[in-house]
Structure 1
Amino acid sequence: MAVPIIDIFAGPGGLGEGFSALINEENQRVFKIALSIEKDTLAHETLRLRSFYRQFDHGQVPDDYYSFIRGLLSIEQLYANWPEQADHAEREAWCGTLGDPDEKDQNAVSDEEVDTRIRAVLNGEQNWLLIGGPPCQAYSLVGRSRRQERILNEGTDKRVGLYKQYLRILAKHSPAVFVMENVKGILSAETTENHVFQKILQDLGDPAACFPENYRIEQVCPGYKIYSLVNLPEGFDIYGNPTYQPKQFVIQAEHYGIPQTRHRVILLGVRNDIDINPGIIGQSDEIPVRSVIGSLPRLRSGLSKNKDSFENWQNVIKRLLDSQVLVQMDKQIADNIRQNVLQLDNPLFGKGADYLPTGELAIGYLADWYLDTRIQGVLNHACRSHMDSDLLRYMFVACFGNIKEQSPKLSDFPTELLPAHSNVKEGVDDKKFADRFRVQLAGRAAKTITSHISKDGHYYIHPDPTQCRSLTVREAARIQTFPDNYYFCGPRTSQFHQVGNAVPPYLAYQIAGVVGHIFQQLEEPVAQENQ
């Protein structure tokens, strides 16, 4: 029987996707999502659609699903055609805001509602898994830098205390195991009262102690031992708790088969009455970004201020050849720019679309994980439009990356290509946000895909200069290791936001292997007793 999962702060379902993909020797799922909760309406739509997809056995997904993702069938008709699976998906994926939401939030749910739903889906099962990552913007190093904020204030920023909702569910329902994800910045975050990370470790170790005595808990939670997923304990304290340095909880995703330098704190909690020491996930070589996006159809960006056409786009970029700007830069870079500008052509699929009928695709990495021959194309692969001046910068940045094998800082830019922003001088002189135009290097893992990609393509420039553009949603999704048949609902801005906020599913899949082994050992004594 599959281990039930409750997934809170689920986003578009990256963690859940990885756990759901783990298959045992009998070709059955080791884990099954029992309930996932997400407050964002569009991310919830994505979550619900993926739940619908998983109601079918591997290879048995109906043709209607593929008709929908190709734009030939509405989502309403898809669900109407398969009512049983659609109803199950609606029950499994819950659009709800946890914690202390705004009174005007239509998705607000009470603690009592959450508890009732959890009890109903678990149906008495004691050995289950809680996963999720409380919203992390409050702890983000970049966010705190932009807000010029060293000390976090739980009273004015409710996100600081959202992990308490995680704690409350642990205290109330005592899952056998939990997996909790957050940003690396949580290690250095402070409130006016404490160091956030040390307080979180203490609270997770004894969740029931975090609530008033009159809080009604039917069964007192026995507490948890907190493990790293990538480092074995340095030792154990007098109570048997594993000991680590804080940085040992950080997973550097590029060392674990994820083609990006995503560094996140991921905690593994094992209930104190379970005497099992978990293993760790194994390291692998760095995966270059070309391995996952290099085989996708070539596209060109659009023009945001002028009438868009290939000829106008090409002519804008050709201005580089007629300007004096090439004289101001390294000769190798200038020659590379000339070479690439002269090679500009009109890609077969132009600026792309929500669905491109390409036929079957190839990929240089994890083909069984990414590819689905039934798509017969590519989803969510459409370009943004850019200003003329940014196209020239994108060409320079991509060619700089080709030659120097690094992304340029603002101080590397020719003066004529610097943006006319008031804080550019700070970027040149003080190196503050000096990498605001960042190319993803083809031969290296990409930089972290974050929700910021929804607002700004400058940090995510495609390595091919002849495409002269920022990444598409599908390229970002591949870097995040979402399978190609994972469809993101909503407008493109929301799609980017969902992808950037997610846990890479292939990383979650590897974590699932470690967690699955814990549950396997839990089941062995029961199986022996029944013999």
Structure 2
Amino acid sequence: MVNRPYPVIDLFAGPGGLGEGFTSLIHHKKYFFETMVSIERDAFAHRTLLLRHFFRNFDPHKPPKEYYEYLAGNRPFDDFKKIYPEQWTEACNSALKISLGEESREEVKKIISRKLGEHKKWVLVGGPPCQAYSLVGRSRRAKDPDFEHDEKHFLYKEYLKIITDHTPPVFVMENVKGLLSATVNNEPVIQKIIHDLSQPKKAVGRSDNGLSYKLYSLCEHVEFKEEVDPTSFVVKAESYGVPQARHRMFILGIRSDLNVVPEILHKRSAPSVDRVIGTMPKIRSGISKGTDNPERWQNLLFEAPKNRWFKTISVTNDNYSKILDEYFVAGFPSEKFSNRYTEPEVMQDWYCDDNLNILTLHESRSHMESDLYRYLFASSYSKIFKTSPKLSDFPDELLPQHKNVEAGRKGKMFADRFRVQLPDRVSTTITSHISKDGHYYIHYDPSQCRSLTVREAARLQTFPDNYHFEGPRTSQYHQVGNAVPPYLARQIAEIIKDVLDRMLED
């Protein structure tokens, strides 16, 4: 049992998903981990981190009432500094807005050294920006001559340099599954990263080769060597209780002079989308052009049966008409926003907070009229056939005027451009693309005709309901999509705690 929390140094922290998982590991009012430094360069994600660090500076069972007043919109952000100067200053000293790189390296080195002090047992976590490695990102930039020289290919080197500067006993590096197939100059990126992480000083050009790490999977009992299949690094979040099919790489490194072999994650069933977000208040989407009010929105849906596309599909399957008739009787939602708090069906201990009596960030986006009909069709189709439609299933009149549509209809690319999140399954991967449009994240309820809200996406990412995302809505979506699910991170933290506990006994 530790007498004081183990320090966490969190690099490329985003909104703090990894750090949240570690700091949520609490027993008898005792934190097992403390995030001493979180570094993020995006201004809005940093503001989110700052707020969460402030929240974590209080007894977990005695949070400040002013925090909830802020969430309710009844108190300005700047009040925290005035009312709780000590906790606010501490948060400002741990959540840092810094762009990692050569220019900031000495500053970061001093900050981490000062924060760690005499601590010998701590963990370094983080995931270098991964957009350049992602399968979607790479397909979009395949013909870009600057692609192989993108800084995101090599930002993991900053992670390596911090390892060499501070020699952590344990590190956890997270990245996208696309690393497995990424190449630079026709050489596999993953093999280079494995080699570099094993011998970080050599990788950054230092002559002293005394520092080395053993690399482990979080889901298989294997130590990684050159002959080991790197797909064992991939963690499927839905296998560990996360209501989302999210497959990411996690590399666990333990310094070679330590005689500790880590445990692995234990599988647990994941709840369905409906059990996580189904109790949330029903809201309607907005209308992006022209008058946006409940009357016009409902009239558009009432007009749907008069459209040619609806008549065409109803001829072959009258279930579409039955679904719409059901909502004509029951009524459609009229508001685009709701702060009425409702608990999810499952994982209340994880999501809920007895002090929280409002729902935040549950506001819909606005959509074009044509997209309202596409969402109506897609969600109705999924309700009838228990699967999300492909472009080839859409009536011709609802197909977007896009150059790739015909290829999509033939299944060659983006065939699932409009994807419904099915209620009885885990969701598909919540990515940063959700910040651009909602086509891949359509709510399964035809009566709402909309994409997921920030709070719904955050729940599917397993952020607690009291976790607030700062900035405009586009940034909030982006933060949620780029984060590590905190519920998964907490399970990783349990493994790291066990490693550090056993190190104390050595």
| Normalised TM-score (structure 2) | 0.95
SS of structure 1 residue aligned to 2:31: coil
Q: Give the letter aligned to residue 301 of structure 2.
A: I
The CA deviation at 1:343 is: 4.3
Post-superposition Cα deviations, 1:90-123, rounded to whole Å, max 9, x if no partner, equal 00000010125xxxxxxxx521001000100001
Q: Give the letter aligned to residue 306 of structure 2.
A: D
Q: 1:458 to 1:283 in 2, by over 3 A?
A: same
Q: 1:161 to 1:296 in 2, by over 3 A?
A: same
For residues 195-344 of structure 1, what are the structure 2 equivalents within 5 Å? 195-213=188-206, 222-233=211-222, 244-329=228-313, 330-343=316-329
Larger deviation, residues 36-45 vs 336-345: 336-345
Q: 1:284 to 1:322 in 2, by over 3 A?
A: same
Which residue in 2 is equivalent to 1:486? 467
Given candidates 34, 37, 45, the residue that maps to 1:35 is 37
Q: Give the letter aligned to residue 270 of structure 1.
A: I
The CA deviation at 1:126 is: 2.1
Distance 1:416 1:257 in 2: 40
Q: Give the letter aligned to residue 196 of structure 2.
A: D
Which residue in 2 is equivalent to 1:498? 479
Do residues 425 (structure 1) and 406 (structure 2) align?
Answer: yes
Q: Give the letter aligned to residue 144 of structure 1.
A: R
Contact preservation (8 Å) 2:332, 2:448: no
Which residue in 2 is equivalent to 1:103? none
Post-superposition Cα deviations, 1:124-152, rounded to whole Å, max 9, x if no partner, equal 32221000000000100011112235998
SS of structure 2 residue aligned to 1:171: helix
Post-superposition Cα deviations, 1:49-95, rounded to whole Å, max 9, x if no partner, equal 00000000112111111111111000101221110000000000000
Contact preservation (8 Å) 1:171, 1:221: no
Post-superposition Cα deviations, 1:226-271, rounded to whole Å, max 9, x if no partner, equal 10001111xx68xxx5963111110111111011111000111111
Contact preservation (8 Å) 2:177, 2:248: yes
Post-superposition Cα deviations, 1:323-344, rounded to whole Å, max 9, x if no partner, equal 2223432405423443355246
Q: Give the letter aligned to residue 205 of structure 1.
A: S
Distance 2:78 2:144 in 1: 47
Distance 2:319 2:151 in 1: 48
Q: 1:209 to 1:374 in 2, by over 3 A?
A: same
Contact preservation (8 Å) 1:249, 1:265: yes
Q: Give the letter aligned to residue 226 of structure 1.
A: L
Do residues 60 (structure 1) and 54 (structure 2) align?
Answer: no
Which residue in 1 is equivalent to 2:337? 352
Which residue in 2 is equivalent to 1:121? 115
Contact preservation (8 Å) 1:399, 1:465: yes
Which residue in 1 is equivalent to 2:439? 458
Post-superposition Cα deviations, 1:156-190, rounded to whole Å, max 9, x if no partner, equal 31110000000001111100100110000000000
Post-superposition Cα deviations, 1:400-434, rounded to whole Å, max 9, x if no partner, equal 11111111110000111111222211211243111
SS of structure 2 residue aligned to 1:75: coil
Which residue in 1 is equivalent to 2:159? 166
List gaps (5 residues or longer) in structure 2. Answer: none
SS of structure 2 residue aligned to 1:379: coil
Q: 1:286 to 1:152 in 2, by over 3 A?
A: farther
Q: Give the letter aligned to residue 456 of structure 1.
A: D
Larger deviation, residues 277-286 vs 45-54: 277-286
Q: 1:334 to 1:367 in 2, by over 3 A?
A: same
Post-superposition Cα deviations, 1:487-526, rounded to whole Å, max 9, x if no partner, equal 111111110010001000000001111111101111224x
Post-superposition Cα deviations, 1:416-470, rounded to whole Å, max 9, x if no partner, equal 1111222211211243111111100000000100111001111100011101100
Matched-pair identity in %? 48
Q: Give the letter aligned to residue 352 of structure 1.
A: F
Contact preservation (8 Å) 1:151, 1:190: no
Contact preservation (8 Å) 2:141, 2:147: no
Which residue in 1 is equivalent to 2:392? 411
Which residue in 2 is equivalent to 1:74? 76
Q: 1:231 to 1:451 in 2, by over 3 A?
A: same
Q: Give the letter aligned to residue 217 of structure 2.
A: S
Contact preservation (8 Å) 1:343, 1:466: no
Given candidates 11, 16, 30, the residue that maps to 2:14 is 11
Q: 1:221 to 1:41 in 2, by over 3 A?
A: farther
List gaps (5 residues or longer) in structure 1. Answer: 101-108, 526-531
Which residue in 1 is equivalent to 2:456? 475
Larger deviation, residues 141-150 vs 427-436: 141-150
Contact preservation (8 Å) 1:153, 1:192: no
Q: 1:332 to 1:273 in 2, by over 3 A?
A: farther
